Structure 1
Amino acid sequence: MDKYESKVRRFETALATRNFEIELFWKRSLFFWGFIASTFVAYVALIDKIAFLSVAAACFGLVCSIAWSCVNRGSKYWQENWETLVEEAESEVTGELFTLRRERHKDLGWLGARKFSVSRSAIALSDFTCCSWVGLLAFSVTKALNIKVPLSLKEAICLLIVFTVVYLLCFLIKVGSKDADINS
């Protein structure tokens, strides 16, 4: 095998492995979503009936969500690793097929395309799910132990809305900027 064939094989292997990592990313997410959704259904069913089990369900949901977040980050690491190898080899094999970016449409303001990172969006969702389980766990514990919280329902709802809006703004700024790295 000559030097060029070796480069082509390296490029093809890196590209196939990158695609495989992306496929595994989504399969892993579906795996965790099965546990998280089932646990949420159990939590809702138990919250007014068996306090101890609602706390246990919230703990399990939190652990599953943290595991999902960690697995997402690990998958993203390996995806970026293989993307780097593809970029290094592509100039010698295909030219700038994957790294060259051309804008197709003029800027349409908020309707325009953005370089959103799909995998970073999933990481942000998994992190928000972790935060949600922390909130549900705190709610379950205070309810199970009859702890009086110095917040009215109205204040708690306002805090949840503010947290969600701030999280969404951070998400949109970090994950959806026009100048985001296409591979991120």
Structure 2
Amino acid sequence: MPESKYTQEQYKEDFLSDEKKREKALERALDTRKFEVELYWKRAAYFWTFIGAVLAGFIAVQASSITNKTDLSVVLSCVGFVFSVAWFCVNRGSKHWQENWEKHVDMLENETSGPLYKVVLTRGKPSGVCEHARHLLTGPSPLSVSKINQLISLYIALLWAVLVWYSLPDLNSNSGMNLFYCSVIFLSIFACISFFWLGRTFQGGFWHRASIRSTEINNG
């Protein structure tokens, strides 16, 4: 069943009509946003650790002279590619839910604490060459940390794609392309496609099924 529309009037009725409900909703929105930010960086640390370990393994294989060097290089680069694409998708998903709660704060804060979250205070514009240079090197900038992290994950994914191509044997050589390499690459591409295809959050309605156990003492 498709998701139902939700209007501004319904939002006001559900969250803004009652003062206690509005304050409680704002408190939960702020707490959940903070929780989402913490989860974001925990997920980033998880992917950085795993991808770094795979990259270290890939470099070690490339520097070795083992007989199955090409096979291991293809497998490791494909694993690195899949996990990098997964990291990119997880970054986008985390950003989606983080912005969801930020938008709730935007909607709820006016009558509780004023537009504190929406008002952005910045430095005055620098004047002169020296101040512009100092501001460029050490001053603040309205850059999104999460977007930069997302772009890094995309860069790492593309880098792994290049390493996959680098690891494959020369097509002009007698070895050619074998079924093992094709299978690993196909499986990796399929996994990445499934992230975008099957990894989306379900937006329809939920109808639950429930059951309860019967328990009694048998006196017989």
TM range (shorter): 0.7 to 0.9
Matching residue of 1:132? 159
- 1:55 maps onto 2:79 in alignment: no
What's the RMSD between the two structures over aligned residues?
Answer: 1.7
- 1:24 maps onto 2:39 in alignment: yes
Runs of 4+ in structure 1 deviating by more than 6 angstroms, as ranges, are none
Which of 120, 136, 143 in structure 2 is aligned with 1:101? 120
Structure 2 length as normaliser, TM-score?
A: 0.62
Matching residue of 2:53? 38
Q: Which one has a larger percent helix, Structure 1 or Structure 2?
A: 1
Higher Cα Rg: structure 1 or 2? 2
Structure 1 length as normaliser, TM-score?
A: 0.74
Distance 2:171 2:57 in 1: 23
The alignment-based identity, stated in percent, is 38
Describe how 1:144-155 pairs up with structure 2 within 5 A. Answer: 145-147=169-171
In the alignment, structure 2 segments of 5+ residues that lack a partner are: 1-16, 173-220
Which of 137, 142, 147 in structure 2 is aligned with 1:120? 147
Letter in 1 for 2:140: A
Letter in 2 for 1:19: K
Distance 2:122 2:146 in 1: 22
Q: Number of aligned pairs?
A: 145
Which of 70, 87, 90 in structure 1 is aligned with 2:106? 87
Letter in 1 for 2:33: R
Deviation at 1:27, TM superposition (A): 0.3
